[in-house]
Chains A and B, each alone.
Chain A
Amino acid sequence: MSGAVTLRGISKSYGETLAVSELDLSVEQGEIVALIGPSGCGKSTLLRLVAGLERPDAGTVAVGDRLVAGEGQGWVPPEQRRVGMVFQEHALFPHLTVGDNIRFGLDRQPRTEQEARVLEVLELVHLPQVVDRYPHELSGGEQQRVALARALAPRPEVVLLDEPFSSLDESLRARVRADTVTALRATGTTALLVTHDQTEALSIGDHVGVMRAGVIEQWGRPVEVFERPVSRFVASFMGDADFLPASLVDGGLGCELGLVTIRTDVSDAEVVVRPHEVSLRLPAAGITGAPAVVDRVEYQGPFILHTVRLASGRTVRSWQPHSVRYPVGTEVLASIAAGIVPRLLSGDAALADDPT
């Protein structure tokens, strides 16, 4: 296996604080990996360890085939790692023009090649016209794209992005994000991105690593991480989720919203229900579901978030399409949407899917 970035048993602590704990990670050539987690989970430290801005206490880091950090195996300083980095505040050199910023990493190449490469990467981010401007003359989105172009220019083995979009306005973010992914894909660059925005992680990553307290709690494709969370933490961090107790009922395991699964091998579990998995209907003949009362209604643009109170007093949330809006106090029937097999939790860990 020739990963672009391979971490083995990496640990890093600051004094008493354990930032990264015996972590393994392998990023394949050309893939984009998103690391996500709450503040202090160690995701930025992980990035800095790959960049060479931190030294691991234990474990090894390899970039391509080259070991760049490891116990007793020497240490490759950041400037010799061929690892590009894009920072949250872009960190362009304020005293250099855009062209000189990009040329900074190309100083070992002949002048003519430098010029060609500068234009090439600026084309890639659709900004060839800003080559002679200074960073302060650019908008935030332009600065971010120049920072990416600068990182890509020396053709690094891997590009690390540390919350690169979080300093941008909401309206700008989606576009810059899409442009960034396009540029990374177009060049086949391996990328490791750190974010605390779950939409970003799910939409960008070929793989997503959900981190907590210095370890990767779940590693997988975005769809796996979202639909098959391995723990209560991942379930609630990657999207909204409500948890309902489940018990054995006729024909399987059920919760207040109805039958969940036909398996009977578990008795004490909780059901993870996400707002898009809960359907609400007005009582009528032939309609089944748990009786509930609409407690709160939030307009969210494309969706309307209804919070309903069940007979037990528990609340669950449900996204209804734009056109459906039940007033507060409406009696509705809540159920799990057809075709959904919700995730089950036992304690804080998810139960393996029913093998049958």
Chain B
Amino acid sequence: MEAGVETDVETDRPGAGGGRATRLSGTGRPGWTALVVVIALIVSVPVVSVLVQALASAGNLALPGNLGEMVLTTGALLALVGLGTAVLGVGLAWLVTAYDFPGRRLFSWMLVLPLAMPAYVLGFLFLSTFGPAGVPARLSRSAFGGSGAVEVLSGWMGAPVVLSLTLYPYVYLLSRAAFRGQGQVTWDAARMLGASPWRAFRQVLLPLARPALAGGLAVVMMETLTDFATVQYFGVRTVSVGVYLTWKGTFDFASAAQLSVLVLAFAVMVLTGERLLRGGARYDARGAHRPPAAPTVLSGVARWWAFAAAASVLAAGFVLPVVQLVWWAVTATLTDSSSLSTGRFATSLTNSAVMAALAALACVTLALLVTHGVRMTGGRLARTAAQLTTFGYAVPGAVIGIGVLVSFAALDRSLEGLGVPGGTGLVVTGSVIGLLASYVVRFLAPAYQAVDASFTTISPSVTNSAFSLGASPLRVLRRVHLPLSRSGIAVALVLVAVDAVKELPLVLLLRPFGFTTVSVWVYELANENFWEQAALPALLIVALAIIPVFFLVRQVRLAEPPRQVGS
């Protein structure tokens, strides 16, 4: 009789919807299953076309000569950023969880703020600050007669430092959730058994936080792989940079696709690494609602050391950069030397807003259709396909970009084959449609997660009630699911819009000639050392990027695991 327990009394309790859906087809409605599958296929087209293109042209390798160096550089950058974010993320999470020091509560959520600072903004601030003309370098020269130690940060080493400072919050958030959750119990137990804090941390908590660390590091490395703008400030040539330069230099699909496959290989390695590091352990925050035990109160000098550690990271990653940006923005406005560029600023602002709105609408519409479709069928096929729609977030931007180009080219060829002269006419010089497509592939995941989170609060029996009252699937969507998931839809719209405004690599790769967004505008100005002029648009991006960070902070406050865990 134990057989089938889950099929009975538990049925239709809120949140029990996933338990029974182990069937392939669900309760029919093949149309909705097909829709979800088609959306998943569309999202995976770019990656598939990169692979196909690379295989098709495998015979005539046209890879750049310094390929080995690029691979080594990418590996070194990933290792350094991984190390940096692990030390900062785990260390700070441990500090604010286990110890009490001045400002601890404030730090515990403010340390997430650097996430709102795009690396390409912090990057140019580093360039200007630590470059030969910067204040630290000048001070160093007058004091020690040389500034090499300082200028390192505007050279190659600047890249891993900047990326670590902007990406560590991912590791921080996940580690903190792990420390607060199940960690608390075991920590208490270890201390009761007489272990010193350091031993308890090393032997008990660190192993426990391993899945969280693995998840956080995977996100960090994916972001690092995606970046090919920031690293160029510092002259770092990763494989992603290689893809970008090859494409922009030669407009050759074959070599760009072959390099993209290499980037993809790195991504697969990162995800495999995550699995291995995670081991059999699953990230589990069940204990997260336990009230945390009182942290150890630090005394004397130690508390100020702790304060200094947290404050310096926050200052370097967020506060000082914002102050600098505000200062530049004010001086640039006062001196009004940028009259030439205000026109372009307005244009890029409009472009960003339109692109963000379109991307948000497209992603949320698709996410809503997928979530609703899964609820309509309940089948395993639809569920798997829905998971597939989120994988774009784990694919490096260069791969998506080249993939979109390759698939649009293929579409063009087949249209021409059908007798449409010129095909879509969208391809080689880039197009807004292509850019939008790449946004959809990349940002469907956060949209889906937000909408899906909302749907899980709608009891399956509410959906079933609507059916039993004679409502068609579309009416259920319009009258029941849509109004009940409004908050999730709003969150999804905001998340995608902000991500789209922040996005730089995809725009650089896919934009039509002369098309600028705010992020590109910042990047171009920064590349030409017009830092004062870049400050205002950069501030705008930072201000917008704080919105999703606010959502995250709210989740941290609810002691819940953050969104996109291990995505």
Contacts and interface: CB of A to CB of B under 8 A. Distances in A.
**Are A and B bound to each other?**
yes
Interface of A: 14-19, 38-45, 48, 51-55, 75, 77-85, 87-89, 91-95, 104-105, 107-108, 147, 150-151, 153-154, 156, 160, 162-163, 196, 212-214
B471 interface: yes
Nearest to B470: A79
Nearest to B463: A91
Contact of A93 (B3, B8, B465): B465
B462 interface: yes
B11 interface: yes
A355 to B, nearest CB: 33
Contact of B467 (A78, A107, A163): A78
A147 B25 CA distance: 30
Interface stretch (B100-108, B278-286, B478-486, B520-528): B478-486
B8 A85 contact: no
B7 A19 contact: yes
Nearest to A38: B1
Contact of B1 (A16, A41, A45, A84): A41
A41 B5 CA distance: 8
B4 A40 contact: yes
Given A54-B27, A80-B470, A39 B461 contact: no
A79 B7 contact: no
Interface of B: 1-9, 11-14, 20, 22-23, 25, 27-29, 459, 461-462, 464-473, 475, 479-480, 483-484
Contacts of B4: 14, 17-19, 40-42, 45, 214
A91 B464 contact: yes
A55 B379 CA distance: 11
A39 B470 contact: no
Contacts of B479: 93, 104
Closest 4 CB pairs of A and B: A105-B469, A85-B468, A91-B461, A78-B467
Contacts of B9: 39-40, 44, 163, 196
Contact of A14 (B7, B459, B467, B480): B7
Nearest to A213: B1
Contacts of A87: 12, 461, 464-465
**Interface majority SS on A: helix, strand, loop or mixed?**
loop
16 contacts: A14-B4, A14-B7, A15-B22, A19-B8, A44-B7, A51-B467, A78-B27, A78-B467, A87-B464, A91-B465, A93-B465, A93-B479, A95-B483, A95-B484, A105-B469, A150-B465
B470 A77 contact: no
A212 B22 contact: no
B460 to A, nearest CB: 9
Given A93-B462, A95-B484, A104-B479, A51 B468 contact: yes
B454 to A, nearest CB: 13
A58 to B, nearest CB: 15
Contacts of B473: 79
Contacts of A94: 462, 484
Nearest to B465: A91
Nearest to A81: B468
Contacts of A15: 22
A40 B8 contact: yes
Given A40-B3, A77-B467, A151-B468, A89 B8 contact: no
Contact of A39 (B5, B25, B467): B5
Which residue, A53, A55, A88, A147, has most C-beta atoms of chain B within 10 A?
A53
B11 A41 contact: no
B468 A40 contact: no
Contacts of B461: 87-89, 91
A150 B461 CA distance: 14
B7 A104 contact: no
Given A52-B27, A104-B479, A84 B468 contact: yes
A147 B467 CA distance: 14
Given A40-B7, A41-B8, A93-B462, A83 B468 contact: yes
A215 B471 CA distance: 32
A89 B14 contact: yes
B5 A79 contact: no
Contacts of B8: 19, 39-45
A77 B387 CA distance: 26
B3 to A, nearest CB: 5
B466 A104 contact: yes
A216 to B, nearest CB: 15
Given A44-B7, A88-B12, A93 B464 contact: no
B533 to A, nearest CB: 48
Given A79-B470, A87-B464, A89-B461, A55 B3 contact: no
A257 to B, nearest CB: 31
A44 B11 contact: yes
Contact of A85 (B20, B464, B471): B464
Contacts of B480: 93
Contacts of A151: 468-469
Given A43-B8, A162-B12, A55 B28 contact: yes
Contacts of B27: 52-55, 77-78
